[in-house]
Copies of this chain bind each other. A is one copy, B any other.
Amino acid sequence: MMEPMRGTLLTDLYQLTMLQSYVDHGMTETAVFELFVRKLPGPRGFLVAAGLEQALQFLEALQLSPEEHDWLAASGRFSRELLDCLAGLRFTGDVHAMPEGTVFFADEPILRVTAPLPQAQLVESRLINLLHYQTLIASKAVRCVLVAPDRTLVDFGLRRAHGAEAGLLAARASYLAGFAGTATVLADMQFGIPSFGTMAHSYIEAHDVEEAAFAHFARSCPENVVLLIDTYDTEAAAHKVVELAPGLREEGIGIRSVRIDSGDLVAHAKQVRAILDAGGLREVGIFSSGSLDEYALRELLDAGAPIDGFGIGTHLDTSNDAPYLDCAYKLEEYAGRARRKRSENKATWPGRKQVYRQYDAGGRMQRDILTREGDVQEGQPLLQPVMQDGRRLHSPESLKTLRTRSAKELERLPAHLRQLRSEPAYPVMIADALKALAGEVDERLEVMN
């Protein structure tokens, strides 16, 4: 089984130089860090939390390999004391988090780490790396699901995903968000995500005659006959499918669908639908792919394209219209004192926080309240304990559970956020208790700095 890359040195060098100073100066008291998104990217009205499972796996397995330790020692950059400390490194802290599939908004922590400062610091880079990417992709994928809730949506993005792990985790994040499956075989093997796929243009081209390619495929994969019809002439190929069908039927082979990957998809789908229907192939579906995203889906469906399923590739796996989130993992408390950063345009709310969500009478999300932990508000608290003293509190949630949660969350979205619109922004109120804490921290900072 191919595991996610686990290297503890998959981190930024500054984590280690900071650790050197923390260890030198005995700064190993409890730190609290929270991970949140500062500002939603323009096209997004909400985000969907994802990647917690991989984040917890990472924390549970945290340990320097002997090879990593030797390399650090040989670098000459770190003291013997720090190296000894790293040799025994394990994650022994607590984690609170929003469950995967939860909708969230700017400034709301989706993960809180409470641990001795060096541990909590060291894990920053990889925690962000894991939670950022899956959250990015789940948040893109749900938009496709909202546009085409009754169509089959499949992740086709591996080849242009940014590396292996992105390809694999995009399959997970999009499935969690409501996709039907992925083309990536390893995601099926590793996560049990249904895999889809039939043939590429190269398959058709390798045959001298297109009909032969179709017939060969149908006989080799009779359970899964989806024929790619746009290699040379889409409508001509649809006629060939009609001609082939009766013979295949006699052999007990049904054609499931045809795939169109280029050209004017609305026009082609309509013509192909007419050809198939006239040829008695009403049960054969049309599957489409090629530079698709939620905007293209919206246009295709608005134009009445008779397409039953979509392969969404590059634009999904790269989240092309918003390829990153402005997320951060910030120190909120150390040694019992709330902390905050006040850099221009990047100031953060201090202290351990909780998010309360309030719903209207119809069960739709109405507003969130961000406050300090312990300041109980009306509504549902979204951050829950998931790890204590380095051990998980629950067994991993199944992807089925996550899909159900995510679907339920979409139902509860305010109406306009179900429409690909990001305005008006969903209201996230800052509780007085949190404002007061920020004021206290600022006063202390002004006295001391």
- Interface residues in chain A, defined as those with a beta carbon under 8 Å from any beta carbon in chain B: 1-2, 4-7, 9-18, 20-22, 24-25, 27, 31, 33, 67-68, 71, 77, 117, 121, 124-126, 128-130, 132-133, 136, 156, 158-169, 183-186, 188-189, 195-203, 205-210, 216-217, 219-221, 223-224, 230-233, 236, 261-264, 314, 317-320, 323-325, 327, 329-331, 334-335, 337, 339-346, 444-445, 448-449
Contacts and interface: CB of A to CB of B under 8 A. Distances in A.
**Of residues A132, A163, A168, A233, which shows the largest number of chain B Cβ atoms within 10 Å of its Cβ?**
A163
A26 to B, nearest CB: 10
A125 B224 CA distance: 21
Nearest to A121: B202
Contacts of A339: 202, 205-206
Contacts of A199: 14, 17-18, 21
B323 A159 contact: no
A186 B117 contact: no
B231 A341 contact: yes
A231 B125 CA distance: 19
A318 B6 CA distance: 21
A73 to B, nearest CB: 12
Nearest to A76: B223
Interface centre among A7, A11, A162 (most CB of B within 10 A): A162
Contact of A219 (B24, B200, B337): B24
Contacts of A331: 201-202, 205-206
Contacts of A125: 158-159
B323 A128 contact: no
Contacts of A262: 343-346
A24 B216 contact: yes
Nearest to A346: B262
Contacts of A168: 5, 10, 163
A141 to B, nearest CB: 14
A7 B14 contact: no
Contacts of A195: 13
A17 B341 contact: no
B314 A18 contact: no
Contacts of A232: 342-343, 445, 449
B10 A162 contact: no
B209 A448 contact: yes
Contacts of A200: 14-15, 18, 121, 124
A203 B20 CA distance: 11
A317 B132 CA distance: 13
B160 A324 contact: yes
15 contacts: A5-B5, A14-B199, A16-B185, A17-B221, A18-B199, A18-B202, A20-B221, A21-B203, A25-B216, A68-B189, A129-B163, A201-B343, A230-B344, A231-B342, A318-B324
A166 B324 CA distance: 13
B220 A4 contact: no
Contacts of A337: 208
Contact of A9 (B129, B186, B205): B186
A20 to B, nearest CB: 5
Contact of A10 (B158, B207, B329, B345): B158
A197 to B, nearest CB: 3
Contact of A220 (B25, B164, B206, B320): B25
Nearest to A24: B220
A267 B317 CA distance: 38
User: Closest 10 CB pairs between A and B?
Assistant: A13-B197, A163-B165, A14-B197, A162-B162, A202-B331, A263-B344, A5-B164, A21-B220, A162-B166, A262-B343
A402 B208 CA distance: 41
Nearest to A221: B17
Contacts of A216: 21, 24-25
Nearest to A201: B341
Contacts of A13: 183-185, 188, 195-198
A440 to B, nearest CB: 14
Given A2-B6, A22-B206, A165-B166, 13 more contacts: A9-B185, A10-B167, A14-B199, A14-B203, A17-B199, A21-B217, A27-B206, A132-B159, A162-B165, A202-B331, A205-B331, A232-B342, A232-B445
